Amino acid sequence: MSQVYDRVALIGLGLIASSMFWAMKRAGLAGEVTGYARSAETRETARQIGLCDRVCDSAVEAVEGADLIVLCVPVGAMGAVAQEISAALKPGATVTDVGSVKRHVIQSVAPHIPEGVHFVPAHPLAGTEHSGPESGFAELYDNRWCLLVPAEGSDRDAVENLRALWEGMGANVEEMDADHHDLVLAVTSHAPHLIAYTMVGVADDLSRVTDSEVIKYSAAGFRDFTRIAASDPTMWRDVFLTNKDATLEILGRFTEELFALQRAIRTGDGEQLFDYFTRTRAIRRGIIEAGQDTDAPDFGRGKAAQ
Count, residues near a copy of itself per rule CB under 8 A: 114
Binding to ligand NAP in span 9-48, by CB under 6 A: 12-17, 37-39, 42
**E strands present in 100-212:** 118-119, 122-124, 145-148, 172-175
The span of 2-10, 120-128, 153-161, 169-177 binding ligand NAP (CB under 6 A) equals 120-128
Longest distance between any two alpha carbons in the chain, whole Å: 67
Closer CB to a copy of itself, 21 or 240, in the complex: 240
Query: Per-residue x/- mask for a copy of itself, residues 59 to 98, rule CB under 8 A?
Result: -----------------x----------------------
Distance in angstroms (rounded) separating the CA atoms of residues 108 and 96: 13
CA 75 to mean position of chain CA atoms = 10
Task: Verify binding: residue 280, a copy of itself, rule CB under 8 A.
Answer: yes
- Helices 270-289, 244-267: crossing angle, 10 deg rounding: 140
Task: Verify binding: residue 207, a copy of itself, rule CB under 8 A.
Answer: no
Q: Which position among 129, 151, 156, 157 is part of the footprint of a copy of itself (CB under 8 A)?
A: 129
Task: Verify binding: residue 283, a copy of itself, rule CB under 8 A.
Answer: yes
Backbone angle region of 153, left / alpha / beta, with phi > 0 → left and psi within -120 to 50 → alpha: left
Query: For 119, phi and psi rounded to 5 degrees?
Result: -125, 115
Task: Verify binding: residue 173, a copy of itself, rule CB under 8 A.
Answer: no
Binding to ligand NAP in span 129-158, by CB under 6 A: 131-132
Task: Verify binding: residue 297, a copy of itself, rule CB under 8 A.
Answer: yes
Per-residue burial over 172-183, b if 16 or more Cβ lie within 10 Å, else e, is: ebeebebeebbb
The span of 24-32, 48-56, 153-161, 232-240 binding ligand NAP (CB under 6 A) equals 232-240
Strands 68-71, 54-55: pairing is unpaired
Query: For binding to ligand NAP (CB under 6 A), which residues are involved?
Result: 12-17, 37-39, 42, 72-75, 77, 81, 98-100, 123-124, 127, 131-132, 232, 234-235, 239
